[in-house]
Amino acid sequence: GAGVSQSPSNKVTEKGKDVELRCDPISGHTALYWYRQSLGQGLEFLIYFQGNSAPDKSGLPSDRFSAERTGGSVSTLTIQRTQQEDSAVYLCASSLARGTETQYFGPGTRLLVL
Amino acid sequence: GESVGLHLPTLSVQEGDNSIINCAYSNSASDYFIWYKQESGKGPQFIIDIRSNMDKRQGQRVTVLLNKTVKHLSLQIAATQPGDSAVYFCADRRGGADGLTFGKGTHLIIQP
């Protein structure tokens, strides 16, 4: 079946602009995660959704970052007033359910803030 | 500080040899560990995982070993192939946490 998909695959924006990144999890997966990967680094956990429950926002780096998940499926990560340090690959992952740990990742969105 | 880290940033092996990638963790509350492979321009690909109540788990050409006494995790790849060239990340889930905590990665290079 289809894996996790993300769009756009690449995004170039100007400092100060807002961006929206989209994630479509694997069908039937109720848990969804967002991570950020800076150049040459490991992944940094940002936020987690379980179904329609309120998200765990503990990893969000600032209040410019927000995310929502509609209908327990598609998720959007929004970065407001982007800064150059926001440039990174933003990765989405999904798992069957909370407590089912294996997370499957999408290809990521490469964000470049000029 | 608490972290999942890797001993070597780059590992070079001959094609056909076995590869061993090591990882250390510091949080004794970690209850789940996982290895991912990431090729250039792609998202991480699941390889194998292990729970803290196990010390060894085998997959196809891969074995993960967990030593809780010294908080050490390793990934063994048998008969390394050119397609194994990638960056390998270990990650752990700390008890009660939702997200995984990743190390910085080891770049595995296969020499012909």
pLDDT tens, residue by residue, B78-111: 999 999 999 999 999 887 677 888 988 999 999 9
- Cross-chain Cβ contact A4/B43 below 8 Å: yes
**Helix or strand holding residue B101 (H, E):** strand B101-102
Among the partner-chain residues B42, B98, B102, the one whose CB lies closest to the CB of A43 is B102
Report CA Rg, chain A: 13
Q: How many helices (H) does chain B have, and how many strands (E)?
A: 0, 11
CA distances from B97 to A55, A59, B39 (A): 13, 11, 27
Query: In angstroms, rounded to a whole number, what is the distance separating the alpha carbons of residues B23 and B73?
Result: 5
pLDDT in tens, B3-46: 455 445 899 999 999 999 999 988 888 889 999 999 998 999 99
B6 or B48, higher pLDDT: B48
Angle at the Cα of A88 (from A84 to A89), degrees rounded to 5? 155
Residue A101: closest C-alpha in chain B: B32
Residue B103: closest C-alpha in chain A: A42
Which residues, given as ranges, of chain A have pLDDT below 50? none
**Helix or strand holding residue B19 (H, E):** strand B19-25
Provide the pLDDT for residue A59. Answer: 86
Residue window 39-58, chain B: list those with CB within 8 Å of chain A. Answer: 41-46, 49
* Best to test chain B binding among A57, A101, A110 (most B CBs inside 10 Å): A101
Residue B47: closest C-alpha in chain A: A102
Provide the pLDDT for residue A39. Answer: 80
Provide the pLDDT for residue B104. Answer: 83
Tell me the backbone φ, ψ of residue A113, rounded to 5 degrees. -105, 120
Sign for the CA dihedral angle at A23, A53, B95, B2 comes to positive
